[in-house]
């Protein structure tokens, strides 16, 4: 079971990030992953990270498309932190999972 929660008790929602985008959705997995949906003047993005491993940002043409992909990426991120990092299966498996993730979600 994935354990996602609203990041920072929802305080980031509506805030403006360093690049100028407004945070629309922001969630964190208790084992060390985060996914954030932002809308800027000229872009809509979903950024995801696994703390200490990867920061990956994707850009979209609409909020609807970004929302759909946000939802699709969460289970894969959860799987990576729950089944690889938490079990200590080593960095090679994690890098393989990251490569697969970036190919699946370019």
Distance CA 8, CA 23 (A): 12
- Give the structural domain span for 30: 4-104
pLDDT tens-digit map of 55-89:
999 999 999 999 999 999 999 999 998 887 777 76
Q: How many domains does the chain have?
A: 1
Number of helices followed by number of strands (H, E) in the chain:
2, 5
pTM over 0.85: yes
């Amino acid at each position: 079971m994935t354990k996602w929660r609203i990041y920072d008790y929802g305080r980031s929602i509506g805030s403006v990030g360093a690049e100028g985008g407004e945070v629309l959705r922001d969630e964190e997995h208790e084992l060390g992953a985060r996914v954030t949906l932002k809308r800027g003047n000229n872009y809509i993005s979903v950024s995801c990270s696994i703390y200490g491993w990867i920061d990956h940002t994707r850009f979209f043409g609409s909020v609807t498309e970004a929302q759909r992909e946000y939802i699709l990426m969460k289970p894969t991120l959860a799987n990576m932190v729950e089944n690889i990092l938490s079990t200590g299966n080593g960095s090679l498996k994690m890098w393989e999972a990251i490569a697969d993730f970036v190919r699946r979600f370019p």
